[in-house]
Chain A
């Protein structure tokens, strides 16, 4: 076979270029730790990456949602715990007042103490978050949930809409406690107010019967509030469990993604050495063969 001299040069140059291109591709891979530089390097891998990334974004979003629920419910739990603590003090006083032997002076002192404690409870029920939104008024966050009307009767002004917050593809958890669940019919506040009104007059006959009745109301309110606190605790516990599950899935997905996305260093390194070796030998062969020409002997 004849081989033209020009063709031999062109072939050698092409070999050198190919080796350089391969070398440069591999060194970019090693430098960036990205196996896929453009989608066509691995079409299937690219589409899988897109899907896996969406999956991870979604998991992150659910995690953020869980954190938000955690924070909000935590805040509400704090308010409710304070209500419970205050109620214990109220309960103590009313229990003492239930002793019919209390004189007028004692009743006045109780009245004084209760007139500080009760508004504190009302304030806690009307608590707001950092933006001035009421915690316990359902979806009417701009409306103070518990207020006395013109007749002096406490009314619940909020609604019973609970915000559902998605924490996974198929499940959501309540993000707020509504006032109508804490004090159904606003019975407790009005009973307490009536009791307060009564004790402030310090009746000579004492407040034994009324106090015993009030104690029953207090413990039923306590039970309701405790119930809500327990529900919050339950929600938070289940969130923690789901978060752990999500973390496991996220970790697995990330590993899968990195397997597709990242460079397999040993393989790439060996390949790069091979490319370098073939590059080097192209150069050597060219430089020694190109020295050979019959013209040297003419």
Chain B
């Protein structure tokens, strides 16, 4: 009888193996699917056939760690560059080139040198100053839009992270239960790894395996994200991100990695400093032109009024050309000491003594702008090459995992043939046992 039973156990084993092949082939293109294999064992006792121990996935946990770490880096740099690249392109746009706008004002001053009393030339100074202010307000708009977009994206990422953490916690509890009951966990574990990969793209994670089937997830700066079946929530206010776990708050700073870390860092090290630098440049230009104007006299014999007005609290947002300034009020006339410690106009309407002063007040005003663009360009180039490196490392990590856990269709085809043969062979054992039995029966 044992020959028949052995044959049946072999048929069962071949069946299971063929099922697993079917499962593997069906899931070959599923992202994060780990190929499964059937574990066979000789059944206990004398000549008791074969036993299917378990069907489980083939994984190497360390390879997953690599994917999460490199994925987190890649997303960090991509997040960083999505804002840096935009800023670099905006400020590098030829039509928004501050140098050109300032050169326009400079040209208007220069043109007025030969006919300082001409209304047309004076008007040209006002219009070209208006053009500079318009450029600045466009740059300001683009910068503010970017910062708004960044804080919106942050809160989006926080919501997504919270949802992911919740799902990881649920899977944790399902897997630990299934494991306790001896049920299959392969699909659940695959799903959890995909979720953690996604999460690592948002926040850099450290994973600990306490051995009960759950995974403990914490952020790079040590904030608990998932412990057992409990998940924390990620909150954002402006560019301030923190997680709350069991009523306790943990801040997430720009060192946490992932896209959130990239966004926090690009805001702190690029967007805000760039705005400050631009404000510095603009303040310098406005102040030195205004000072130069105050050192001359206008066509009405009055000391020069300022050309630019701004609120120091928000220079880019508020800078404008003095509305009350008429062409005649531009102080092109030079000044001389009146002998009593005061100043009087050096000449009449046609005097251009102060224009040279105005022209030199613009000199070097945009030097900081060249530096700013250069810095942004170099930074962007570095980040782009970091993205390439991170991409390669991530690809390698994914390839390393897939080399172990991915499905190879040729291998499955070979398995298919092999287990089919195994099935045939066992069926032959059964039919042989049957024949032997019949031979025996037919004797009587």
Chain A contacts to B: CB under 8 angstroms: 1-7, 9, 11, 14, 38-40, 42-44, 46-47, 50-51, 53-54, 57-58, 60-62, 64-65, 68-69, 71-72, 129, 131, 133, 137-143, 158-159, 161, 163-166, 172, 175-176, 293-295, 297-298
Contact = CB atoms under 8 A, between A and B. Distances in A.
B414 interface: yes
A235 to B, nearest CB: 13
B349 A64 contact: no
Contacts of A172: 356
8 contacts: A7-B398, A7-B402, A9-B29, A39-B89, A40-B377, A47-B374, A164-B113, A293-B410
B409 interface: yes
A54 B113 contact: no
Interface string B302-319: 000000000000000000
A72 B352 CA distance: 15
A47 B115 contact: no
Given A39-B373, A172-B356, A64 B347 contact: no
B99 interface: yes
Specify which of B29, B348, B353, B380 lies most central, judged by the most chain A CB atoms within 10 Å of its CB.
B348
Contact of B410 (A47, A57, A175, A294): A294
Contacts of A72: 114-115
Nearest to B369: A50
B52 interface: no
B370 to A, nearest CB: 5
A161 B113 contact: no
B100 A161 contact: no
A6 B28 contact: yes
Contact of B417 (A39, A129, A298): A298
A40 B349 contact: no
A166 B416 CA distance: 89
A9 B406 CA distance: 12
A65 B110 contact: yes
A5 B414 CA distance: 14
Interface of B: 28-29, 35, 85, 88-89, 91-92, 97, 99-100, 103, 106-107, 110-111, 113-118, 333, 346-353, 356, 359, 366, 369-371, 373-374, 376-378, 380-381, 384, 395, 398-399, 402-411, 413-414, 416-417
Contacts of B377: 38-40, 42-43, 46-47
Given A5-B408, A46-B374, A46-B377, A138 B347 contact: yes
Which of the listed residues A40, A43, A158, A163 has the most CB atoms from chain B within 10 Å of its own CB?
A40
Contacts of B402: 3-4, 6-7
Contact of B350 (A9, A14, A139): A139
B347 A159 contact: yes
Contact of B89 (A4, A38, A54, A68): A38
Contacts of A7: 398-399, 402-403, 406
B117 A141 contact: yes
Overall SS of chain B's interface: helix
Contacts of B35: 4
Given A3-B403, A47-B374, A139 B349 contact: yes
A55 B395 CA distance: 47
Contacts of A165: 113-114, 352
A161 B403 contact: no
A69 B114 CA distance: 7
Contacts of A42: 377
Nearest to B103: A57
Given A65-B114, A138-B350, A6 B407 contact: yes
A40 B381 contact: yes
B18 to A, nearest CB: 12
Given A39-B377, A163-B116, A293 B409 contact: yes
B350 A140 contact: yes
Contacts of B115: 68, 72, 129, 131, 133
A235 B222 CA distance: 76
Contacts of B409: 5, 293-295
